[in-house]
Chain A
Amino acid sequence: MPVYNFKSMGVVPTAKDLVDIVLSKTQRQTPTVVHNGWAIQRIRQFYMRKVKHTQTTWHEKLSTILEDFPKVDDIHPFYSDLLNVLYDKDHYKLALGQLNAARGMIDKVSQDYVRLLKYGDSLYRCKALKRAALGRMCTIMKRQGPSLAYLEQVRQHMGRLPSIDPNTRSLLVCGYPNVGKSSFMNKVTRADVEVQPYAFTTKSLFVGHTDYKYLRWQVIDTPGILDRPLEERNTIEMQSITALAHLRAAVLYVMDISEQCGYTIKQQAALFQSIKPLFANKPVLIVANKTDVVALADLSAEDRALLDGVAAEAAKVSAGGFEGDKPGSNLIAMSTLTEEGVSVVKQIACDRLLASRVEIKLKSKRINEVGNRIHVAMPRIRDGTARPPIIPASVLAKKGLPPAAPRPTERDLQEAQGGAGVYNADLRKQYDLKDEAWRYDIMPEIADGHNVLDFVDPDIDARLEALEREEAAAAAEFEALDTGLADDHLSQAEWEDLHRIRERKKRIVADNRRKRAAADNTPRIPRTLDAPRSRTAERMKAELGALGLDA
């Protein structure tokens, strides 16, 4: 269920402002130039557009206002009653109804005048029609001035209403004025409600939130209620009555037993009797406040009797009691000044509300969705054999023993040996090893560029042995193999010849490269100037001799 967000309603302008807005919008968003000499159809279109545009703008603006405001019939009865109390439902509905009617009237006006414009025969006639149409629309809205003003005020007030979720867990604090409801609220929640010695300090409902058992609880502070018939109640009191009537909350009826608020215990009890019908099906707690002034035990007998009477009535009327409740268990003493009993009150109220909510949920149909999740399956009895739980004898033996003395923890050991920065914890103490001598071993992690851990294997012996056998066999095989790498295909003389051939080839290549590099660089020297005289007979003889010829 959503929490109603009245803060997001748009501002309702006054009638005058609204008229200005709409007319200026039309002026800006439609063409403004028209000439006498244009075709009549074009002139008609021009003015029809103006009228229609104004009508649509009015329609939009009024629709947004009407949609923003909540329909009293469509919201939670608590809120509808609250709106009724604060703003008078009839007035509210009337105002919105008038706006609705105005919207319809504007549409009709526009329709009529557009029909007339279809037959306008001159620019002047069309213009006059348009003026009439717009004028009538604006007059209609000017008459709505009071409604708009009222709605704006309502909107401003609604935005400041406390955001109460009517369906979640709530604690409602009620009682006479000045008994200490707002003080209780301040103590239990973070709300900062004004606390003053005069009556009706709190003039409207206030919400605070608190936590209990990992859940969010709303605490609702109400204005004080006086003991009057319903018809005579003023708006402020009516708000409390509305809250009491419509919210399914735990009710904390606060009584001032010191009578400092100005009302006697008798009057407070009487009030309780008169508003008793509102407490049906709600867990009710009677809270006796201001016990720092007058303790519960110091009360006179008749006052005490009155209180007990109230408590008994509350027990009869309320829901969510625990079984075997003692008769006075919904009467609790507290003092908001000294804060004693405040948390007790909160705790008991929350527990009772939870219990009643669970009860209601169990009775509803929704339990079936969850029922299978909270069902504990027990096996069906199929034979007579007893199958008790098996508890080891050592556990049974220990059951009777006194609890063991606390062992010294590692932390204690650390502190004893110099504290956090000094002590080095022995992490190997608890290691489970086959041989104690290995406890403080330093294990090599790396050897020869390999990780030792990669070789650790339980069956390493077997594997190594297999490998070595394999290796021996492979080595023998390799020995027997003829690799053909021996250089036995050529004799010594042939090797020498081959060597000389290779030398010669290198020489030729080197000479060629030299010649090519110097190809065009050196000039041709005639033979007469050839100093080195490289072409000689000796040279020829030597070269041919090298080849084996006899020259």
Chain B
Amino acid sequence: MAIRRPRRYHIYDSLPKLRLEKCWFCSSTCYPGHGVTFVRNDATVFRFCRSKCHKNFKMKRNPRKVKWTKAYRKLAGKDLAEDATFEMERKRNRPEKYDRELVHKAVGALKKVTAIRATREARLHTLRKSAARDAEKAADLRELEQSIHLIKAPGVLAREEEERLRESVEELQQTEAMQE
């Protein structure tokens, strides 16, 4: 009887050879072969997707205050911040035993989750716009009222007003006659 040797646990018994990281400054993906990785003396690792982010970092800018970064946008509520879709995509530190079915499902889930996240972001943007919409409408009406003198003389305005009133009165009388 052969001695049972302890068998390797997992198909990726070490970390995967390739992993996409997030840029420290703008939170976009750092693809391999791009960007700069800076390791500080206290062993904190900063990854940057391009020199723009790297240079901003060297200028000691706070990404939370720089308008075009994801950090700012999430903080200011312009982009989706907390959501169930983010929970689905989380770096897990305990590897699972390899299961082809599971990986297959994971790839499918990946696509669906990304799609759902996109629709949710779009919804958020729409809601933001609608919140600002009322103010916009009010501004339009105000502009129309105040600046009409630029295209119509005051006398003309009064005349048009009279005409419109007469027309609406006539309409009203007609509808009353039809109802009777």
Contacts and interface: CB of A to CB of B under 8 A. Distances in A.
Interface of A: 394, 407, 427-428, 430-435, 437-438, 441, 443-458, 460-461, 463-464, 466-468, 470-471, 474-475, 478, 483-485, 489-490, 494, 497-498, 500-502, 504-505, 508, 544, 546-549
A504 B20 contact: no
Interface of B: 1-2, 5, 7-12, 16-20, 29, 84-85, 88-92, 96-100, 102-103, 105-107, 109-114, 116, 119-120, 123, 126-127, 129-130, 133-134, 137, 140-141, 143-144, 147-148, 150-153, 155-156
7 nearest A-B pairs in the assembled complex, by CB-CB distance: A548-B156, A483-B130, A432-B7, A455-B106, A547-B153, A504-B150, A456-B106
Given A430-B8, A501-B147, A449 B20 contact: yes
Nearest to B16: A445
Contacts, number: 171
Given A437-B100, A456-B92, A456-B103, 17 more contacts: A438-B99, A441-B98, A444-B103, A445-B18, A446-B20, A451-B16, A453-B12, A455-B106, A460-B102, A471-B116, A489-B140, A489-B141, A490-B140, A547-B152, A548-B155, A549-B153, A549-B156
A101 B107 CA distance: 100
Contacts of B116: 467-468, 471
A471 B107 CA distance: 19
Contacts of B147: 501, 504-505
B2 A443 contact: no
B110 A433 contact: no
A463 B147 CA distance: 57
Task: Name the residue among A463, A471, A508 with the largest chain B CB count within 10 angstroms.
Answer: A471
11 contacts: A434-B99, A435-B100, A452-B106, A456-B96, A463-B88, A471-B119, A478-B123, A497-B151, A502-B143, A504-B147, A508-B150
B96 A458 contact: yes
A455 B150 contact: no
A9 B150 CA distance: 112
Contacts of B141: 489-490
Contacts of A470: 84
Given A438-B100, A448-B114, A457 B106 contact: yes
B130 A485 contact: yes
A443 B12 contact: yes
A124 to B, nearest CB: 76
Nearest to A463: B88
Given A444-B107, A445-B18, A457-B92, A485 B152 contact: no
A522 to B, nearest CB: 27
A460 B105 contact: yes
A497 B68 CA distance: 37
A502 B140 CA distance: 11
Contacts of B109: 455, 460, 464
A546 B151 contact: yes
A375 B85 CA distance: 61
A544 B156 CA distance: 11
B11 A431 contact: yes
B151 A453 contact: no
A432 B148 CA distance: 81
A452 B106 CA distance: 7
Nearest to A507: B150
A450 B89 contact: yes
Contacts of A475: 119
A225 B77 CA distance: 101
Given A431-B8, A455-B109, A446 B92 contact: no
A318 to B, nearest CB: 50
B155 A452 contact: no
A452 B107 contact: yes
B140 to A, nearest CB: 6
B153 A548 contact: yes
A446 B30 CA distance: 13
Contacts of A434: 97, 99
B143 A455 contact: no
Contacts of A546: 151
B144 A455 contact: no
A501 B151 contact: yes
Contacts of B134: 484
Given A452-B107, A484-B130, A501 B102 contact: no
Given A461-B105, A467-B113, A483-B126, A497 B88 contact: no
A483 B127 contact: yes
A453 B112 CA distance: 15
B10 to A, nearest CB: 8
A445 B153 CA distance: 71
Contacts of B127: 483
A341 B100 CA distance: 68
Contacts of A461: 105
B98 A438 contact: yes
Nearest to A431: B8
Contact of B98 (A443, A497, A501): A443
Contact of B110 (A428, A450, A466): A450
Given A454-B90, A504-B150, A445 B156 contact: no
A460 to B, nearest CB: 5
Nearest to B130: A483
A188 B164 CA distance: 128
Given A455-B109, A456-B96, A445 B17 contact: yes
A447 B110 contact: yes
Contacts of A448: 110-111, 114
A476 to B, nearest CB: 12
A320 B150 CA distance: 124
A432 B153 CA distance: 89
Contacts of A432: 7-9, 97
Contacts of B90: 454
Given A438-B98, A450-B114, A497 B148 contact: yes
Contacts of B7: 430-432
B106 A460 contact: yes
Contacts of B97: 432-434
Contact of A494 (B17, B19, B29, B144): B144
A547 B8 contact: no
Contacts of B19: 445, 451, 453
A46 B30 CA distance: 85
B114 to A, nearest CB: 6
Contacts of B106: 452, 455-457, 460
A501 B107 contact: no
B84 A452 contact: no
A207 B121 CA distance: 86
Nearest to B133: A484
